[in-house]
Amino acid sequence: MAGVSLVCVPLVGKSVEQMLSEMATATAGGADVAEIRLDHLASFEPRRDLDLLLRNRPLPVLVTYRPNWEGGEYEGDDGWRFEALLLAMELGAEYVDIELKVAQEFVDFLSGKRPDGTKLIVSSHNYQSTPSIEDLSILVARIQAVGADIVKIATTAVDITDVARMFKVMVHCQGQQVPMIGLVMGDRGLMSRILCPKFGGYLTFAALSTGKESAPGQPSLSDLLDIYNIKQIKADTKVYGVVGKPVAHSKGPIIHGTAFRSVGYNAVYLPLLVDDFESFLSTYSSPDFAGFSVTMPHKEAALACSDEVDPIVKYIGAVNTLIKRPSDGKLIGYNTDYTGSISAIETTLQVFSGKVPGASLADRIFVVIGAGGAGKALAYGAREKGARVVIANRTYERARELANFVGGQAISLADLENFHPEEGMILANTTSVGMYPNIHDTPLSKQALKSYALVFDAIYNPTLTRLLREAEELGVTIVTGVEMFVRQAMGQFEIFTGLPAPEKLMRETLLNFH
């Protein structure tokens, strides 16, 4: 039934003691099942060790003894393995896993002595790819035919769209007697591990902590429970996420996931590692995939895929927020980077100069370093507010192009060093110069910063870049990229949900995880 999936933590310790300690941690962390990976034990004495592992167990257990020909660590023969798995059944293990390749032999081996009460999971692993829907369905039928109580299929995502096939097969299986575990391994398959309650998956695996994964792409137990809120995911839960490449570093899931939960919004927010934006959108076209934050390198593609956009978005040439309009399914594109950054700068100016809202940027010189996505967003945003925009960029040609578009002036990075036509100017860095790990770099000398009333940096890692630190040392007001990030995320939250963003919570969440 869609709506309940068990969360199972694989125990990968090398000794029984380590596994028992992992089991206690998994129990305290909220796991539903512990998978005892017998093949991970450095030495294994079945009767003694299984007794220790199963006696007084705090959780239901799944006992797996994976051979190396199926991706595990056991190198011996099947006879020994079968005996150990039978013993686990006799000792009351709730689940035992056997590979499809030898499932018939195992079932024959058990005949007449199979204890009641243990569910048999018959599993198939494909470490290369995800087969077609037809081939997956045939695989399900073969696993059912061998007498499985639970079908388990794990494949590999070459592309995020591969996961859709597994979801289809899982939904189809829901009407049948035999529950299914359907997982797609690898970073591109992550959503299969999180959305299983939505698509009727019986169980999903979660690593006890980062580094203790038993298969590629496994999220940690705390991420699954706390960030993705898996226990609240149901068939009608809406899916949002950040689409990018890479996305693993994104703070989007933690900030949006926490915000959704705080207002009781029935939605989950995922990192979505996407290679081809268009095929991603056409594969996940159902209204359930309701909206996306879009990051590098897909912001231009998101604009091209939008049915309608905010007028200014066309000028900026980039969409960072995309929603499916519920009434007609049309894709509507927004850019909250420009609203987030400009409002962060304006608010700070108002606080520090006591000026009336909205008027603070008008007529000021606003220097943008960079002419990429963020540069365009800042330049158009400042122009909208009536500022006189100046663009400086490494590639001068791009600076001139952007300056022409916004009716501003272009100067070279070298000339920016001595640019000081008037007091009260604003400087916005939108290049990645100074971003982690190159934290000692800066796009403009400290000397040149004296000419500015306020310095903004779009970079949010680190929060205090060398540029901002040096500006602060000179007594110049600063605005961080974290401030822009939180504001663009608040804008996205409001577009996604139609509700006011829980600002305090979103700020605290970002600070706590930064």
Where in the sequence numbering do the catalytic residues fall?
Answer: 125, 152, 299, 337
Candidates 202-210, 358-366, 482-490, 492-500; binding stretch for ligand NAP (CB under 6 A):
482-490
Candidates 23-31, 77-85, 241-249, 458-466; binding stretch for ligand NAP (CB under 6 A):
458-466
Task: Examine residue 218 and tell whether it contacts ligand NAP (CB under 6 A).
Answer: no
CB of 375 to ligand NAP, least distance (A): 5
Map tokens 């809406």 to a residue: 238
List the x/- string, 328-347, binding to ligand NAP by CB under 6 A: ---------x----------
How many residues sit close enough to ligand NAP to count as binding (CB under 6 A)? 24
Q: Token digits for 495?
A: 């577009």
DSSP state of 422: S
Q: Which of 202, 280, 366, 485 binds ligand NAP (CB under 6 A)?
A: 485
DSSP state of 69: G
CA pair distance 411, 393, nearest whole angstrom = 8
CA pair distance 486, 18, nearest whole angstrom = 41
Residue type present at position 80: W
**Of all helices (H) and strands (E), which one includes residue 473?**
helix 466-473
Task: Examine residue 492 and tell whether it contacts ligand NAP (CB under 6 A).
Answer: no
Task: Examine residue 375 and tell whether it contacts ligand NAP (CB under 6 A).
Answer: yes
Task: Examine residue 374 and tell whether it contacts ligand NAP (CB under 6 A).
Answer: yes
- Residue pair 127/153 in contact (Cβ under 8 Å)? The answer is no
CA pair distance 89, 55, nearest whole angstrom = 13
Task: Examine residue 355 and tell whether it contacts ligand NAP (CB under 6 A).
Answer: no
Task: Examine residue 46 and tell whether it contacts ligand NAP (CB under 6 A).
Answer: no
Neighbours of 20 (CB within 10 A): 18
From edge to edge, which strands make up the β-sheet containing 238-244?
Answer: 267-273, 238-244, 289-294, 321-324, 331-334, 308-309
**Of all helices (H) and strands (E), which one includes residue 318?**
none
CB of 457 to ligand NAP, least distance (A): 8
Q: Which of 150, 379, 458, 471 binds ligand NAP (CB under 6 A)?
A: 458
Q: Token digits for 57?
A: 């167990």
**Stretch 376-415 residues interacting with ligand NAP (CB under 6 A):** 393-395, 398
- Segments in 246-322 forming alpha helices (H): 252-262, 277-283, 299-305, 311-316
Candidates 76-84, 282-290, 372-380, 382-390; binding stretch for ligand NAP (CB under 6 A):
372-380
Neighbours of 261 (CB within 10 A): 18
**DSSP sequence for 133-164:** HHHHHHHHHHHHHTT-SEEEEEEE-SSTTHHH
Helix axes 252-262, 481-497, angle to 10 degrees: 50
CA pair distance 334, 378, nearest whole angstrom = 15
Residue nearest to ligand NAP (CB): 372
Q: Whose Cβ is closer to ligand NAP: residue 348's or residue 488's?
A: 488
Task: Examine residue 463 and tell whether it contacts ligand NAP (CB under 6 A).
Answer: no
Task: Examine residue 370 and tell whether it contacts ligand NAP (CB under 6 A).
Answer: yes
Q: Whose Cβ is closer to ligand NAP: residue 68's or residue 395's?
A: 395
CB of 412 to ligand NAP, least distance (A): 11
CB of 460 to ligand NAP, least distance (A): 4
Q: Which of 296, 448, 453, 495 binds ligand NAP (CB under 6 A)?
A: 296
Q: CA torsion 455→426→431→511, rounded to 10°?
A: 40
Task: Examine residue 253 and tell whether it contacts ligand NAP (CB under 6 A).
Answer: no
From edge to edge, which strands make up the β-sheet containing 425-429?
Answer: 409-411, 388-392, 365-369, 425-429, 452-457, 477-479
Q: Token digits for 173?
A: 């299986």
Q: Is 23 helix (H, G, I), strand (E, B) or coil?
A: helix
CB of 155 to ligand NAP, least distance (A): 34
Candidates 208-216, 228-236, 263-271, 427-435; binding stretch for ligand NAP (CB under 6 A):
427-435
Task: Examine residue 373 and tell whether it contacts ligand NAP (CB under 6 A).
Answer: yes
Candidates 186-194, 219-227, 229-237, 481-489; binding stretch for ligand NAP (CB under 6 A):
481-489
Q: Whose Cβ is closer to ligand NAP: residue 221's or residue 371's?
A: 371
Q: Whose Cβ is closer to ligand NAP: residue 253's or residue 370's?
A: 370
Contact residues for ligand NAP, defined by CB under 6 A: 296, 337, 370-375, 393-395, 398, 430-433, 435, 458-460, 481, 484-485, 488
